[in-house]
Structure 1
Amino acid sequence: MALVYVLNGPNLNMLGVRETSVYGTIDLAGIEKLVHARAERLGMTAEFRQTNHEGVLLDWVHESHARGAVGMVINPGALTHTSIALHDAIKAISLPVIELHLSNVFARESFRHHSWVSPAAKGVICGFGPKGYELALEALASSVSAQ
């Protein structure tokens, strides 16, 4: 089965507790179950991780390439708007990357409208809540099969 990385950045460990009016009530463990089930149906194995530390996230991006992953789904959290290093790491691995956000970042504060990740990503999915993870995996599977 094809290996895909599903990486989650800062504060996503607080899902289900943090701003439920924005992010919903499902926690990250619940999303992880959805991801593994969808990945399996798509013939993929998902390596699902979360960190609150930028350097750890960068190491995992590099690791995905070293382990032969076929692609990545990443919800970078607030690092979306601040991390040029994450942009550079994604560009360095030459894998299709789908950027994902639970909320519609364009319907929120203006500082969330700019992403350093988007220019390095194959595509962006936002605003569909936990379903976005499944949509991102489907997009990734389609992208990989088209290569």
Structure 2
Amino acid sequence: MSSVEYPDGRPEDHPFAGYFLPYPDQNWGRKGEGFVSTISDEPPQLNWIYVDRDTHEVKYGDRAESEPHIIGPWDVTKMDKRVTLEGWEGFMAVRYGPREWALYFDRDDDGLKGIIDPEMWTMEIELVRRERKQEKPDPDDE
């Protein structure tokens, strides 16, 4: 598989491919689960999606990296369309500079006051869940 590059030479990031999975030693019941994503195809690897307890930035890492932070419960809205954390949709995009954005969770619902520089641009966003299209199976694979 060849690597795709942007016009400025940066390699393309690995596409997000997330799904819900029970987080070890957590039982949120009907409230949700943990959230994982692939971070590479070769070799195949998963990391937990979490929110940094201090900065409120959405990050990913292995279990040891994620455990001290906000690990869930992750879920979706009633119509299975939008992603929630801790029962609500408090996600924000924060602009650091030209073409530099990061995903945050506004846990305190205060516009990330005291968390980010007030001069930074922010935008409330929705994380929309979209399933991958199922392709017709190849009969040779059966």
TM over 0.5: no
Whichever structure has more helix as a proportion of its residues is 1
**Bigger Cα Rg:** 2
- TM (norm. structure 1) is 0.28
Whichever structure has more strand as a proportion of its residues is 2
- TM (norm. structure 2) is 0.28
